[in-house]
Amino acid sequence: MQRWPPMRMVNLQVSSLAALALALGLIACAPESTNANLAPTNDGITGTGREAATAAKGAEAVVKRKCVTCHGEDMSGATKQLAIPGQAADERVELFPPNLTPDFTTGLGDPAEKDLAKRGYSDDLLARAIRQGFDRNDQELCPQMKHFAEMSDFEVYSIVKYLRSLPPVKKKILRSVCAPLKTKVDQTRK
């Protein structure tokens, strides 16, 4: 006795329907969570990289990553020594979160500036500082500064765009001391 419809026919129909649904975008190949870091670009296309970065997403990221806790709401740094909650005081460590505004004498500078002395950090050097903890002179940042090695290109370059969009704030900040990386002798150098 033959069953109707034949199994081969049912499998063919299910496969055809799945292919049609996929083509029409009714189902996806990957789980929705893979789209969590996607950002719309100006032309409406969704992207995840540097080219999709926005200052608005960077503003959200500095709050989410708690950068404002140390660098301040205006990201101009702290003139008073920062105490780290939950850590015992260490006389070898003096933390002064730096000015991250585009001021060329006390902050990050402007990478588009023709005057080399006013350029400061390039976007890539700033992204490297955030991710890997190295300054523009290839010195390690104090280990108390969180580094975000897993941060996506989209997020790090959104933060860079946000910092570039801030008004420059002229605020001289002492360099942090965290022996043996940075010493008291280095403290007044930029």
Residue keyed to tokens 């022996």: 179
Query: What is the structure's pLDDT at 51?
Result: 93
Q: What tokens appear for 128 in the block? A: 């490297």
Q: Which long-range contacts (CB under 8 A, 24 or more apart) does 46-49 make?
A: 47/154, 48/152, 48/153, 48/154, 49/153, 49/154, 49/157
Residues 117-135 have pLDDT tens digits of 778 889 999 999 999 999 8
- Using the predicted structure, report yes or no on whether residue 152 has a pLDDT greater than 70: yes
pLDDT above 90 as % of the chain: 43
pLDDT range class, residue 48, cuts 50, 70, 90: confident
Residues 85-117 have pLDDT tens digits of 667 777 788 899 999 999 998 999 888 888 877
Mean pLDDT of 32-51: 50
Q: What tokens appear for 32 in the block? A: 């929705």
Are the C-beta atoms of 141 and 134 separated by less than 8 Å? yes
Mean pLDDT of 47-71: 92
Global pTM reads: 0.70
